[in-house]
Amino acid sequence: MSALNFLASTSALSNESMLSTSMIGLVIAFLLHFVLGRLMKSPAQRLPYPPGPPPRDIITGNARDLMASPKLWLTLTEWAPVYGPIFYLRSLNQDMIVLNTLEDTVELMERRSNNYSDRWIVPLIDLSGWTYATTFKRYGPAWQDHRRLLHQKFRPAASLTFRPIQVEKVNDMLNSLLATPEDFMTHIKTLSAAIIMSAMYGYKVKAKNDEFQELAEVAMAALSKSMYPNSSIVNVLPFLCFLPTWFPGAVFHRFALTVKDQITRMQEVLYKYVQDNLAAGTAAPSFVADFLDGCKTEEDHNVLKETAATAYAAGADTTTSSLGTFFYAMAISPEVQKKAKEELERVIGGDRLATYDDEDFLPYIQAVIREVFRWRPVVPLGVSHSATAEDVYKNYYIPKNTILVPNIWAMTRDPIKYENPEEFNPDRFFDNNGELNTDDVGYTFGFGRRICPGRHMASATMFLAIANILLAFDIRPPKDASGKDISLDVEYTGGLINHPLPFNCSITPRSDRKRLLADLKENDF
C-alpha cells in the first residue's frame, strides 16, 4: 500500500470515527436532556393529559376542528362518549379541557375555585373592548370591586327591591301582547331591556325603536359572535392581533373598532343620563344613582360605569332568549301548557293575575321555568374559566393557564339524570312524592365565584312573565292556509348566547281574561 493510500484510508477512518463519536455524543446529550427534563418535572407534570381527539397536526393541534364547528357545543357533546367526560384539546400552544358532567365541573370550578376563577382572554373580545365587562375581567382586585357592587344589589334579599319594576314592565308586556301578539319577540325584548335599564339607570325604554335597547342588542350579538375559535382566525392565531388595521385580511380589526365604539356608548351615555338627572333633581332610583355619590375618584366612576354597563348589556339579552324558548316550548307542548293552566286556575282563580306571593304555590310553573333553562340553555358552553396554577384531577395533569370549558349543553343532556333529554318535560323535576326535587338547574347560570350575579332577578322575571302569559293567553303553532297546524322546528343562532331564530306562533287571549287585561291601567297586580 502506498503512503498516499495509507494516509487516505487513515483519514477516512478518522473521519468516520469522529462522525461516530459525534453521533454518540448527540445521543448521550439527548438522553441527558430527556432524563434531566423528566427529573426536573413536578410529579404532576409526569402525569398524562386527559384523553382527547388526535391533533390535526403538530403545530395547530385541534385548532382546525374547533374552527370547523359552527355550533361548537354540539361537536364537543358528540365527542364526550368517545373520549370521556373530561377530554383534552390543544389549539396551537393553548391547552383546553372540556368538562361534560356537572360533578366534575362543580369539583373544579366551585370546590377548587381558588384555582379556577380566572378568565381566558379571547383575542377578538380583547380587541373589541369587552374586557371592561365584569364577565370577562381577570380574577383579581378589579373584578372583586365589580363583584362587590353587584352583590350589594343582586343578592336574593336585595333583588326584591326590583320587583315593582318587574311588575310594571310585565304588565306593559301583557298589554302589548294583547294589542299585537304577532310581535311577541319584540315585546319580550322590550320587557328584558326595560327591566334592566330601569333598574340600572332609571331609564324608561320606548315601546319601539329605542336606541339604547338596540345598542345593547347589537353589541351583544357582536359579543356572541366573537367568543369561539370559529368566530375569527385571530382567536386561533393570536399573534395576528399585531397586524396593522390596513393589512389585507385584517377585517377583524375593523370589526373590533366598530364594536368598541358601541361599547363605549353603552358605558358612557346612560351613565351621563343619570348624572344629569341627579344634577337636575329628577333622577329615578337606580343602581347607578344609589352609588354615584360615593364615587370620589375617576377609578370609582369607572368601576360603577363598567359594572352597570355589564348588567345592562347582559340583562337586556339573556332573558329574551329564555322567554323566546318558552313560547316555542308552549307552542309544541299542548299537554304541558294545559297542565300549567290547570294549576294556575286552581291557585289564582279567574279574577286576577299572578303575583310573587303565588310562587310557592305554583310548583308546576317553577318546573316549566327549570325546563326552559335546561332544554335550551342560554349559554350552552358557559364562559370558560382558566387555571391559575397547575393541578391534578382524577390522575390527569392540568397545566397552568389551561382553559376549562364547562359544557352546559352536555350537562343538560345527561341521559342518566334527564331521561329523553330532547323532550320538553317539566315533570322530570318532581320526585316520587310529587314534590319539586333539588335540581333547580342553577348550573345554567355558571359556576363558583363567576356565577351570574343577576340570576335571582332573571328567575323572578321569568316567573312573573310566564305565569301571567299562561293565565292570559293560549299559545299554539301557526296554521297553514287549510287551517292545519304547522310543525315547528326552531333553529338557534349559535355563538356565546343561543337565541331562537324568528318564528311564528298563534297567541290568542283567553276569553275570560281579555277584559281583565284591558282593565289593567294602574300597573297593579
Q: What dihedral angle (degrees, nearest 10) is formed by the CA atoms of 72, 78, 80, 83?
A: -110
For residue 11, what is the enclosing H or E element? helix 3-40
Angle, nearest 10°, between helix axes 298-332 and 363-375?
100
For 201-234, letters b (16+ CB in 10 Å) and e give bbbebeeeebebbebbbebbbbbbbbbbbbbbbb
Which backbone phi and psi does 457 adopt, to 5 degrees?
-65, -45
- Of the candidates 266, 290, 269, the residue with the CA atom closest to the CA atom of residue 162: 290
Q: What distance in Å separates the CA atoms of residue 384 and residue 402, rounded to the nearest whole number?
A: 10
* Interacting residues of 446 by C-beta distance below 8 A, sequence separation 6+: 379, 382, 383, 406, 452
* Interacting residues of 313 by C-beta distance below 8 A, sequence separation 6+: 133, 216, 219, 220, 223, 266
Longest distance between any two alpha carbons in the chain, whole Å: 123
Let me know: does 86 contact 99? Beta carbons within 8 Å: yes
Angle, nearest 10°, between helix axes 298-332 and 211-226?
80
* Residue 241 assigned to a binding site: no
CA gyration radius, the chain: 28
Q: What distance in Å separates the CA atoms of residue 260 and residue 213, rounded to the nearest whole number?
A: 17
Let me know: does 376 contact 498? Beta carbons within 8 Å: yes
For 24, the grid coordinates are 454518540
Q: Is 323 strand, coil or helix?
A: helix
DSSP 8-state secondary structure symbol assigned to residue 284: P
Torsion sign over Cα 255, 257, 263, 265? negative
Residue with cell 310529587: 434
Count the residues in the chain.
525
Per-residue three-class SS string for 343-373 = HHHHHHCCCCCCCHHHHHHCHHHHHHHHHHH
Q: What distance in Å separates the CA atoms of residue 174 and residue 166, rounded to the nearest whole number?
A: 12
Residue stretches of the annotated binding site: 452
Residue stretches of the annotated binding site for heme: 452
